[in-house]
Structure 1
Amino acid sequence: MLKKLISACALMLPLSLQAGPVEELEMLLSGHESAQADFVQFSLNEGGNRAEESNGHFVVQRPNRFRWVTETPFEQQIISDGQYIWVYDPDLEQVTRKPADQQGNSAPAMILNGQIQTLGKDFAISKIDEDASGVALFELVPREPENSTFTRIRLLFEQGRITELSMQDSLGQRSMLVLDGLEYDPELPDGVFDFVPPEGVDVILDQGF
């Protein structure tokens, strides 16, 4: 009887109280096939002020397709069609192509694609704050700092939706990615992840070795 009572009480608890931080983060990020949002990305100087700010929008679709478009201050498109990643710089009239599996070591890419179990192999994941309004803050710290680009990543959620990524690299430099208008499982146009190099641009083939 006691075991049944404990089990029943556990089922009545909020899911966030039953799951550990890795499982909870995975539930927050892995429950959808696709997502799109506008973004503002910037670095923070020593005084905590914004620097090198850029704006744009992105679309991601699991498992490994995305379109990341920076609009200002300089236009750039980064597109993964599942087989290749294309980086197109219109101002340089240049396209770089590399294998899509080369994104695998990118923590931000794995976060937006919901690959939390894979990420958990390289990062210790913890929840460091949560309040009654639905705001939660997660922190990722590399298990082997000497082999990681980042020394700390923080993810801010509001009402179950990710709104900010904060990253600090091994040199102490901090950058922020702020999302706006995040939409899960939007209706995507055909060919949104296709890319054909425009005529006249230089195409560089990066084998990723």
Structure 2
Amino acid sequence: MNRNITTYIVAICFLFIFSSSAHAGLESLTKTYGKAQTITADFVQTLIHKNSGSKNVRTGHFTIKRPQLVRWVTSKPSKELLIVNKNAVWNYLEDEEVVYKYPRDLADESQNALRFLLGDSKVDNDFYVEEENGSYILLPKEPTANLTEAELWLDESTGVITRLRIIDFYGNINDITFKNVQFDKAVNDSVFDFTPPKGVDVEDNTKK
């Protein structure tokens, strides 16, 4: 499976896990993200590889709609589209002229991460929460290769996550800054439809 898929989904899932939390510092998140039917935002994503120290900076925007619809668009440095809809997961790499199609029931750790997006997880059930220097550390009770620690920063006055930092088992970092966050914006389901453009290669992983 394309590793980018897991990277995106793990990040996206954190935006919808705050349907319930007993932690006082996260109450504002429960009121905003926990009740939101849609979330839209611009992002700047920095991927840092532990061994090489290399950095990959990406910018774009995304739209999420409960319970299971995602449109994540990377515009720079290369164009990439991730669609999660009711039928499949699509990953379109425009510059490479290739589309990857995956089943909705993503396997292994991706499936575990996706359950957050589907509303099947709550912060206190799956994480130990610690406050540290103005941020919140979330330590999963059952770490996976893609998630051993997460740290988030938020605007206390609005309950909006301004930055999210995820560390995987290998020490790689997925650091995302969010801007222009909007909740409950009207979004038609057709936004999450996808038909591969003519002439591109389609690798269908739903039949394997």
Same fold (TM over 0.5): yes
What one-letter code is carried by the residue in structure 1 that aligns with 2:205?
Answer: D
Q: Which residue of 1 aligns with 2:187?
A: 188
Larger % of strand: which?
1
CA distance in 2 between counterparts of 1:116 and 1:184 reads: 20
1:156 aligns to 2:153 (yes or no): yes
Q: Which residue of 2 aligns with 1:97?
A: 101
What one-letter code is carried by the residue in structure 1 that aligns with 2:154?
Answer: F
Deviations 1:37-89 (A, max 9, x none): 0000003477xx98210100000001110100000001100011222111001
Deviates more, 1:49-58 or 1:168-177: 49-58
CA distance in 1 between counterparts of 2:44 and 2:174 reads: 11
Q: CA deviation at 1:141?
A: 1.2
CA distance in 2 between counterparts of 1:177 and 1:51 reads: 13
CA distance in 2 between counterparts of 1:119 and 1:96 reads: 31
CA distance in 2 between counterparts of 1:85 and 1:114 reads: 14
Pairing 1:86-165 to 2, within 5 Å after superposition:
86-102=90-106, 103-106=110-113, 110=116, 113=117, 115=119, 117=121, 121=125, 123-129=126-132, 137-145=135-143, 147-158=144-155, 159-165=158-164
Deviations 1:68-126 (A, max 9, x none): 0000001100011222111001112111111223253237x83xx483735655x3231
The 1:153/1:115 distance shift into structure 2, 3 A limit, reads farther
| 8 Å Cα contact 2:47-2:175 kept in structure 1 | yes
* TM-score, length of structure 2 as denominator length: 0.73
CA distance in 2 between counterparts of 1:104 and 1:156 reads: 26
* TM-score, length of structure 1 as denominator length: 0.73
Deviations 1:130-163 (A, max 9, x none): 8xxxxx6332212233x44222011221120111
| 8 Å Cα contact 2:31-2:159 kept in structure 1 | no
The 1:75/1:53 distance shift into structure 2, 3 A limit, reads same
The 1:190/1:114 distance shift into structure 2, 3 A limit, reads closer
Secondary structure (helix, strand or coil) at the match of 1:105 reads helix
Secondary structure (helix, strand or coil) at the match of 1:200 reads coil
Q: Which residue of 2 aligns with 1:67?
A: 71
Q: CA deviation at 1:176?
A: 0.5
The 1:119/1:126 distance shift into structure 2, 3 A limit, reads closer
| 8 Å Cα contact 1:34-1:186 kept in structure 2 | yes
Select 1:55's aligned residue among 55, 59, 67. 59
Identity over the aligned pairs, expressed in percent? 28
What one-letter code is carried by the residue in structure 1 that aligns with 2:141?
Answer: R
Q: Which residue of 1 aligns with 2:202?
A: 203
Superposed CA RMSD in Å reads 2.9
What one-letter code is carried by the residue in structure 1 that aligns with 2:71?
Answer: R
Q: Which residue of 2 aligns with 1:20?
A: 22
- Unpaired runs of at least 5, structure 1: 1-18, 131-135
Q: Which residue of 2 aligns with 1:172?
A: 171
Secondary structure (helix, strand or coil) at the match of 1:117 reads coil
The 1:106/1:77 distance shift into structure 2, 3 A limit, reads same
Provide the aligned length of Structure 1 versus Structure 2. 179
Select 1:84's aligned residue among 74, 88, 112. 88
The 1:114/1:98 distance shift into structure 2, 3 A limit, reads closer
Secondary structure (helix, strand or coil) at the match of 2:64 reads strand
